Amino acid sequence: MSGGVPVSALSLSGLTVERGGRAVVRDVSIEVPAAQVTALLGPNGAGKSTLVLSAGGVLRPRSGAVLLDGTDLAGRRPERIRQAGVAIVPEGRRMLSDLTVEDNLRVAMYALPRPQAEAGRARVLELFPQIARRLPAPARALSGGEQQMLVLAQALVSQPRFMLIDELSLGLAPVVVSRLIPVIRAVADGGTGVLLIEQFATVALGLASRAYVMEGGRIRFSGAAGELRSNPELLRSAYLLRGSAGGGSAPSPARGHAGNLDG
């Protein structure tokens, strides 16, 4: 890969993304290694979701690159980026609610070669036995946890090399989140690089090898996830850098503790 970045990583390099004529993501660089979970933390409005949508082709960056195997994917259509091996799970559990679970998976598989589609389907039903039992049900009839499983399955069915997940646990009960954590770990152990955006820092840092903190559209911290796990005040300080960087008043710190930070 160009610039000395190994081919075993997805590199978001110098991305700037505008929405409504305003830069929401500003010169952001993140490296997502294969076979690892990388955490992306930050308060609401930090630009995390915009970054994921840009990397997935839903939004076109003003500048920067999305590099995979020396090829810049930035600005390509979402289906082309997915075919290249990068799948995104946007915030909001986007699915076809009136279709069955089975049909939602078929839609996700429609452009795949048959052997890949069959292997991907078998894999996601192994990872999500609860979804396997609900294949005939309309997606709208699923619980919130089952819906999150379904959108994860839709991304995983193509057996992506890299997966970007926006807000894994949003609106879910802790018991449901506890069922999803081993799945994310298994996906990474299987070789897929995962970028995980997560409102609960303890969840993300428990899975991640490396972590980034994004605030005000910029990366304020990058380093080993263990640094933030062992030093919650370091995480808090990254959230409070806006004021010192001249970007306006500082946001409020976490609601009581570093385990639940605004996503």
* Stronger pLDDT, 40 or 93, i.e. the higher one: 40
Say whether pLDDT at 235 is over 90.
no
Say whether pLDDT at 37 is over 70.
yes
Residue 84: band (very low, low, confident or very high) from pLDDT cuts 50, 70, 90: very high
Residue 47: band (very low, low, confident or very high) from pLDDT cuts 50, 70, 90: very high
Strands 63-68 and 210-215: unpaired
pLDDT in tens, 52-69: 999 999 999 999 999 999
Q: What is the pLDDT of residue 171?
A: 84
Say whether pLDDT at 206 is over 50.
yes
Residue 179 half-sphere exposure toward CB, CA atoms < 13 A: 15
Determine the length of the chain.
263
Residue 3: band (very low, low, confident or very high) from pLDDT cuts 50, 70, 90: very low
Mean pLDDT along residues 252-257:
32
Q: What is the pLDDT of residue 217?
A: 95
Least confident of 19-33, 111-125, 242-256: 242-256
Q: What is the CATH number of domain 1-85+161-263?
A: 3.40.50.300
Residue 199: band (very low, low, confident or very high) from pLDDT cuts 50, 70, 90: confident
Mean pLDDT along residues 155-177:
91
In which residue ranges of the chain is CATH 3.40.50.300 found? 1-85+161-263
d(CA 188, CA 50): 23
d(CA 169, CA 180): 9
- Per the CB < 8 A criterion, the answer to whether 61 and 17 are in contact is yes
